[in-house]
Amino acid sequence: MSDTTILLRAAHFAARRHRDQKRKGSTAEPYINHPIAVAELIASIGRVTDSLTLAAALLHDTVEDTDATLDDIGREFGPDVRAIVAELTDDKSLPSEERKRLQVVNAPNASRRAKIVKLADKSVNVADIARDPPPNWPVARRRAYVEWAILVVAGCRGTNAALEKHFDGLAAMALATIRG
Protein backbone atom coordinates (compact mmCIF):
# COMPACT_ATOMS: atom_id res chain seq x y z
CA MET A 1 0.00 0.00 0.00
CA SER A 2 1.44 3.41 -0.94
CA ASP A 3 1.92 6.15 1.66
CA THR A 4 -0.84 8.22 0.07
CA THR A 5 -3.23 5.27 0.00
CA ILE A 6 -2.67 4.39 3.66
CA LEU A 7 -3.27 7.99 4.72
CA LEU A 8 -6.42 8.38 2.67
CA ARG A 9 -7.74 5.01 3.86
CA ALA A 10 -7.01 5.97 7.48
CA ALA A 11 -8.79 9.32 7.06
CA HIS A 12 -11.78 7.58 5.48
CA PHE A 13 -11.88 4.86 8.16
CA ALA A 14 -11.70 7.45 10.97
CA ALA A 15 -14.32 9.69 9.34
CA ARG A 16 -16.75 6.79 9.02
CA ARG A 17 -16.20 5.66 12.60
CA HIS A 18 -16.44 9.16 14.12
CA ARG A 19 -19.25 10.33 11.80
CA ASP A 20 -21.84 10.97 14.52
CA GLN A 21 -19.47 12.40 17.12
CA LYS A 22 -18.84 16.03 18.02
CA ARG A 23 -16.08 17.68 20.03
CA LYS A 24 -16.98 18.81 23.56
CA GLY A 25 -16.41 22.53 22.93
CA SER A 26 -19.26 25.03 22.63
CA THR A 27 -18.97 24.97 18.82
CA ALA A 28 -19.49 21.16 18.78
CA GLU A 29 -17.32 20.78 15.70
CA PRO A 30 -17.20 17.39 13.96
CA TYR A 31 -14.97 15.01 15.91
CA ILE A 32 -12.99 14.00 12.80
CA ASN A 33 -11.41 17.47 12.84
CA HIS A 34 -9.46 16.37 15.93
CA PRO A 35 -7.50 13.43 14.47
CA ILE A 36 -6.94 15.40 11.28
CA ALA A 37 -5.52 18.28 13.34
CA VAL A 38 -3.26 15.84 15.23
CA ALA A 39 -1.89 14.36 12.00
CA GLU A 40 -1.46 17.80 10.42
CA LEU A 41 0.48 19.06 13.46
CA ILE A 42 2.78 16.04 13.30
CA ALA A 43 3.47 16.72 9.63
CA SER A 44 3.74 20.52 9.75
CA ILE A 45 5.36 21.31 13.10
CA GLY A 46 6.98 17.93 13.79
CA ARG A 47 8.14 17.51 10.17
CA VAL A 48 7.26 13.81 10.37
CA THR A 49 6.53 12.21 7.00
CA ASP A 50 6.29 8.59 8.14
CA SER A 51 2.94 7.34 6.82
CA LEU A 52 2.52 4.80 9.63
CA THR A 53 2.81 7.49 12.30
CA LEU A 54 0.44 9.78 10.40
CA ALA A 55 -2.07 6.97 9.83
CA ALA A 56 -1.94 6.11 13.55
CA ALA A 57 -2.58 9.78 14.33
CA LEU A 58 -5.71 9.70 12.18
CA LEU A 59 -6.83 6.48 13.90
CA HIS A 60 -5.66 7.16 17.45
CA ASP A 61 -9.14 7.53 18.98
CA THR A 62 -11.08 5.04 16.87
CA VAL A 63 -10.73 2.05 19.18
CA GLU A 64 -11.19 4.09 22.33
CA ASP A 65 -14.20 6.12 21.15
CA THR A 66 -16.00 4.04 18.50
CA ASP A 67 -16.97 0.44 17.85
CA ALA A 68 -13.71 -0.18 15.94
CA THR A 69 -11.40 -2.83 17.38
CA LEU A 70 -7.65 -3.30 17.28
CA ASP A 71 -8.31 -6.31 15.06
CA ASP A 72 -10.13 -4.00 12.61
CA ILE A 73 -7.12 -1.67 12.61
CA GLY A 74 -4.74 -4.57 12.07
CA ARG A 75 -6.79 -6.00 9.21
CA GLU A 76 -7.09 -2.64 7.46
CA PHE A 77 -3.68 -1.10 8.16
CA GLY A 78 -1.32 -3.86 9.25
CA PRO A 79 0.46 -4.80 12.46
CA ASP A 80 2.62 -1.69 12.77
CA VAL A 81 -0.29 0.76 12.76
CA ARG A 82 -2.27 -1.60 15.01
CA ALA A 83 0.60 -1.61 17.53
CA ILE A 84 0.84 2.19 17.60
CA VAL A 85 -2.93 2.60 18.01
CA ALA A 86 -2.88 -0.02 20.78
CA GLU A 87 -0.29 2.03 22.67
CA LEU A 88 -2.50 5.12 22.36
CA THR A 89 -5.77 3.47 23.38
CA ASP A 90 -7.00 3.81 26.94
CA ASP A 91 -8.80 0.88 28.54
CA LYS A 92 -12.30 2.33 28.92
CA SER A 93 -13.22 -0.36 31.46
CA LEU A 94 -10.99 1.47 33.95
CA PRO A 95 -12.09 4.57 35.87
CA SER A 96 -11.07 7.88 34.32
CA GLU A 97 -8.54 8.72 37.04
CA GLU A 98 -6.80 5.36 36.58
CA ARG A 99 -6.65 5.84 32.81
CA LYS A 100 -5.09 9.26 33.32
CA ARG A 101 -2.58 7.87 35.81
CA LEU A 102 -1.61 5.11 33.38
CA GLN A 103 -1.01 7.62 30.60
CA VAL A 104 1.54 9.41 32.79
CA VAL A 105 3.17 6.13 33.88
CA ASN A 106 3.26 4.56 30.41
CA ALA A 107 4.33 7.57 28.33
CA PRO A 108 8.09 7.14 28.94
CA ASN A 109 7.93 3.52 27.73
CA ALA A 110 5.90 4.18 24.58
CA SER A 111 7.40 3.76 21.12
CA ARG A 112 8.78 6.84 19.38
CA ARG A 113 5.81 6.84 16.99
CA ALA A 114 3.27 6.66 19.82
CA LYS A 115 5.07 9.47 21.68
CA ILE A 116 4.88 11.67 18.59
CA VAL A 117 1.13 11.10 18.29
CA LYS A 118 0.69 11.67 22.03
CA LEU A 119 2.62 14.97 21.85
CA ALA A 120 0.43 16.22 19.03
CA ASP A 121 -2.79 14.91 20.62
CA LYS A 122 -2.09 16.69 23.89
CA SER A 123 -1.14 19.85 21.98
CA VAL A 124 -4.43 19.90 20.08
CA ASN A 125 -6.43 19.16 23.23
CA VAL A 126 -4.70 21.87 25.26
CA ALA A 127 -5.22 24.40 22.46
CA ASP A 128 -8.90 23.45 22.27
CA ILE A 129 -9.33 23.84 26.03
CA ALA A 130 -7.92 27.36 25.83
CA ARG A 131 -9.80 28.31 22.63
CA ASP A 132 -13.14 26.50 22.97
CA PRO A 133 -13.47 24.67 26.29
CA PRO A 134 -16.39 22.38 26.99
CA PRO A 135 -19.07 24.70 28.38
CA ASN A 136 -19.61 22.52 31.46
CA TRP A 137 -15.90 22.46 32.42
CA PRO A 138 -15.18 24.89 35.26
CA VAL A 139 -11.82 26.68 35.44
CA ALA A 140 -10.42 24.13 37.92
CA ARG A 141 -11.13 21.22 35.58
CA ARG A 142 -9.58 23.00 32.59
CA ARG A 143 -6.47 23.86 34.63
CA ALA A 144 -6.25 20.27 35.92
CA TYR A 145 -6.41 18.92 32.36
CA VAL A 146 -3.56 21.15 31.19
CA GLU A 147 -1.44 20.29 34.25
CA TRP A 148 -2.08 16.57 33.64
CA ALA A 149 -1.18 16.93 29.94
CA ILE A 150 2.12 18.51 31.01
CA LEU A 151 2.86 15.39 33.07
CA VAL A 152 2.04 13.08 30.15
CA VAL A 153 4.21 15.10 27.78
CA ALA A 154 7.07 14.97 30.27
CA GLY A 155 7.25 11.26 29.55
CA CYS A 156 7.48 11.95 25.81
CA ARG A 157 10.43 14.38 26.01
CA GLY A 158 13.39 13.76 23.76
CA THR A 159 11.22 12.55 20.90
CA ASN A 160 10.56 15.60 18.69
CA ALA A 161 11.93 18.96 19.83
CA ALA A 162 9.64 20.99 17.58
CA LEU A 163 6.47 19.29 18.85
CA GLU A 164 7.68 19.60 22.44
CA LYS A 165 8.38 23.32 22.04
CA HIS A 166 4.98 23.79 20.39
CA PHE A 167 3.25 21.98 23.26
CA ASP A 168 5.13 24.09 25.82
CA GLY A 169 3.92 27.30 24.19
CA LEU A 170 0.33 26.05 24.02
CA ALA A 171 0.38 24.86 27.64
CA ALA A 172 1.76 28.21 28.87
CA MET A 173 -0.85 30.09 26.83
CA ALA A 174 -3.65 27.84 28.07
CA LEU A 175 -2.67 28.23 31.71
CA ALA A 176 -2.44 32.01 31.30
CA THR A 177 -5.85 32.09 29.60
CA ILE A 178 -7.44 29.83 32.20
CA ARG A 179 -6.03 31.83 35.10
CA GLY A 180 -7.28 34.99 33.44
Q: Tens digit of pLDDT for each residue in 25-72? A: 778 888 999 999 999 999 999 999 999 999 999 999 999 999 999 999
Confidence of residue 132 (pLDDT cuts 50, 70, 90): confident
> Which percentage of the chain shows pLDDT scores above 70?
99
- 3-state SS of the chain is CCHHHHHHHHHHHHHHHCCCCECCCCCCCECCHHHHHHHHHHHHCCCCCCHHHHHHHHHCCHHHHCCCCHHHHHHHHHHHHHHHHHHHCCCCCCCHHHHHHHHHHHHHHCCHHHHHHHHHHHHHHHHHHHHCCCCCCCHHHHHHHHHHHHHHHHCCCCCCHHHHHHHHHHHHHHHHHHHC
In this predicted structure, the answer to whether residue 23 has a pLDDT above a threshold of 70 is yes
pLDDT band with cut points at 50, 70 and 90 for residue 178:
confident
pLDDT average, residue stretch 146-155: 97
pLDDT bracket for residue 180 (50, 70, 90) = low
**How crowded is residue 179: how many other Cβ atoms within 10 Å of its Cβ?**
9
CA-closest candidate to residue 56, choices 106, 152, 121, 123? 121
Q: Which residues are catalytic?
A: 64-65
pTM, rounded to two decimals: 0.94
Over 70: is that where the pLDDT of 141 sits? yes
* pLDDT band, residue 21 (cuts 50/70/90): confident
Average pLDDT over the chain, rounded to an integer = 94
Architecture of domain 3-179: Orthogonal Bundle (1.10)
CB atoms within 10 A of CB 44: 12
Average pLDDT of span 167-171: 97
Q: What is the pLDDT of residues 118-129, one digit of tens each?
A: 999 999 999 999
